[in-house]
Amino acid sequence: MKAIIRNIISMLTMKRTLKTSFVDRVSGKTIFFYKDKYGTEWMSEYPYYPFNFRAKTKGE
């Protein structure tokens, strides 16, 4: 149960960073980096909506 709540809080607290990753060749959309409340870095398209697709980066 804790993991589910943490995942939902993570989705709701995503903030876009200034870095861009790449332009998706299929959709033509730019992929941006985001950070959540816990400091985890994610990649997603802009604008990010909760429960939208996102991918976790390997980190630093």
State pLDDT tens for residues 8-60. Answer: 999 999 999 988 889 989 989 899 999 999 999 999 998 888 888 898 988 65
> What is the rounded distance in angstroms from the CA atom of residue 9 to the CA atom of residue 11?
5
What's residue 36's pLDDT? Answer: 95
> Residue 42, Cα to own-chain centre: how many angstroms?
4
Dig out the tokens for 9 from the structure: 């809080």
**pTM of the predicted model as reported, rounded to 2 decimal places:** 0.81
What's residue 60's pLDDT? Answer: 56
